[in-house]
Chains A and B, each alone.
Chain A
Amino acid sequence: MTLKQLGKLEKLRAMLGYPGAVLGGIGLLTSGALALADRATLEDIKAAQDLDMQQSLTQVLPGKYENDLLKDTVVLPGPDGELTVYRARQGGKVVAVVFKVQARGYAGPIVSMMGVDRDGKMLGVRVIKHTETPGLGDKIEPAKGEWIHSFEGKFLGDPPAEKFAVKKDGGVFDQFAGATITPRAVVKSVKGGLAFFAKEKTRLLEDGVQP
């Protein structure tokens, strides 16, 4: 910066509106930068999130299906407000549905994704969000224990509704040593999910027009 420029700057700085103008100018510049960054990353973030969703969908849908689940959805009134149900098709026919269920665990809501086939039989359950105690309640994660697989193949009737509970409550599902509330919450949310499936079965399995 030359001396002359500095002198000019000094004169500017003395003006009343100068600080406000600087703040405003920098605010404009940064907003511009943020807008650009948002544009640049929007698609990649969407793709990454879709991939995430796709992965959790495939985990609870072991079988084969031919459509893009993320595009084939129905929205129905579920146990906790509106529920987006993803549908898997084979030969245009809905063979399984996937949806989210949740229940209050020990330290906050536990959100799970569950897959159910046409007959109401469970294909799989994955906990996708929870804040349970590490080392105790987190055995609901497949990485930390086999427990979450105990739902596979179960349906309402096997076990019967009153046995659809943790062992401590007279049911068939194991609880964890030192943690009953967490598995109890997951079992409850899954049971609610199966009830939801039974209630909305006809609408869920409507083949309709494949989008």
Chain B
Amino acid sequence: MSNEYTRITKDGLWDNNIVFAQILGMCPTMAVTGSATNGLGMGLATTAVMVASNALVSMVRNVVTPDVRIPVYIVLIATLVTLVDVSINAWAHDLYKVLGLYIALIVANCAVLGRAEAYAQKVGMLPAAADGLMMGLGFTFALTLIGGIREVIGSGTLFSNAHLLLGPAFAFLETTVITDYKGYLLMILPPGGFLVLGFLLAGKRILDKRLAERRVAPAAMPEPVAG
């Protein structure tokens, strides 16, 4: 049983990462990763939706028949997204001004429907919710990483406006990496997202290849695998 959750965790965070392995959810990945804070916010909002949608889908899996399952899942996901949308608008309005435009995009994030279809409808509520959480966190990790790289190269800052997302306590995250930076506009515009994603995908493949090689020949590389 615990093995199952280890696998869910590894899948969601790395092996089957929504962005870096499944290459799903490209629309939010490109649209909101102009800064690390935006990536983080979008990732967390998506995580909330995915946990709830996976749990709900798993809950209704015995009731819903195969012919209507897609419309049912879409209705459920759209409802959840709308709930997140109005909640953020009402109770985190400053964040809404930054992310508002993109929250509705979560409906169109095929990764949410993809997890419902590929996993949640086949298992119980607990593993389904765990899968939603881990997949969402993996997505958050990917978006924050891409956003961070784009932000540093594009505007020379990191986690700017973090206090809007996480509250004033997290203002310490806001750093100016390069002072007096003129900015590299390409990185903030959509092409920058594609470039950074491309290099990160290549980097992940190289890393995975190296790790696999080490696993095959543990005698040659006795030290523990760092990951």
Contacts and interface: CB of A to CB of B under 8 A. Distances in A.
Partners in one complex: yes
Given A9-B62, A22-B63, A34-B82, A44 B90 contact: yes
A133 B65 contact: no
B86 A134 contact: no
A1 B101 CA distance: 42
Main secondary structure of the interface of A (DSSP, over half): helix
B110 interface: no
Q: Which of B83, B87, B91, B97 has the most CB of A within 10 A?
A: B83
Contact of A26 (B60, B83, B90, B91): B60
B75 interface: yes
B183 interface: yes
Given A134-B185, A134-B188, A30 B79 contact: yes
B211 interface: no
Q: Interface size class for chain A?
A: 20 to 34
Contacts of B91: 41, 44
A27 B93 CA distance: 28
B87 A41 contact: yes
Q: Interface size class for chain B?
A: 20 to 34
Contacts of A30: 75-76, 78-79
Contacts of B72: 22-23, 26
A48 B90 contact: yes
A13 B79 CA distance: 25
A79 interface: no
A30 B78 CA distance: 9
Nearest to B92: A48
B4 interface: no
Contact of B83 (A23, A37, A51): A37
A133 B183 CA distance: 12
B65 A33 contact: no
A41 B185 contact: no
B87 A13 contact: no
A41 B65 contact: no
A19 interface: yes
Contacts, number: 68
Interface in A1-53: 1, 9, 13, 18-20, 22-23, 26-27, 30, 33-34, 37-38, 40-41, 44-45, 48-49, 51-52
A48 B87 CA distance: 12
Contacts of A135: 155, 182-183, 185, 188
Contacts of B96: 48
A38 B62 CA distance: 30
B90 A45 contact: yes
Contacts of B219: none
A45 B86 contact: yes
B109 interface: no
Given A26-B72, A30-B79, A37-B82, A45 B89 contact: yes
B87 A37 contact: yes
Nearest to B83: A37
Contacts of A136: 185
B86 to A, nearest CB: 4
Interface string A131-159: 00111100000000000000000000000
B68 interface: yes
Interface of B: 60, 62-65, 67-68, 71-72, 75-76, 78-79, 82-83, 86-87, 89-91, 93, 96-97, 155, 182-183, 185, 188
Closest 7 CB pairs of A and B: A44-B90, A48-B93, A41-B90, A30-B79, A19-B68, A41-B86, A135-B183
27 contacts: A13-B65, A19-B65, A19-B68, A22-B68, A22-B72, A23-B72, A26-B64, A26-B76, A30-B75, A33-B79, A33-B83, A34-B82, A37-B83, A38-B86, A41-B91, A44-B90, A44-B91, A45-B93, A49-B93, A51-B93, A134-B188, A135-B155, A135-B182, A135-B183, A135-B185, A135-B188, A136-B185
